[in-house]
Amino acid sequence: MELVETLRWTASISGMIAALMVALNAGARITGWGFVLFCGSSIVWVAASLLDGNSPLAIQNVVLLGINLLGVYRYLWRKPEEQAAG
């Protein structure tokens, strides 16, 4: 299997697992780690897309990486008192 194909499968499978973790709504910790996995998936998609010359998919995943980093912040980094206030 070629590198780009391996990266695509890795990104796809990790993205599906991350989506399940977020959709389960099993608590802030699980959801937060789902967003961490989404970040990893986005990074792998960017790498595969750049190697493949697929700029639109790379740009999409750079934006998704930023959105997923917001999810990581909200669910894992933000202190409980900050969560109650906003």
- pLDDT on residue 80: 66
Question: How do the domains of the chain map onto residue ranges?
Answer: 11-79
- pLDDT on residue 85: 62
Q: Cα(61)–Cα(63) distance, rounded to whole angstroms?
A: 5
pLDDT digits (tens, 9 = 90+) for 66-82: 999 999 999 999 876 66
Find, among 31, 28, 38, the residue nearest to 83 by Cα.
Answer: 28
Neighbouring residues of 22: CB distance < 8 A, sequence distance ≥ 6: 31, 34, 35, 38, 71
Neighbouring residues of 19: CB distance < 8 A, sequence distance ≥ 6: 34, 38
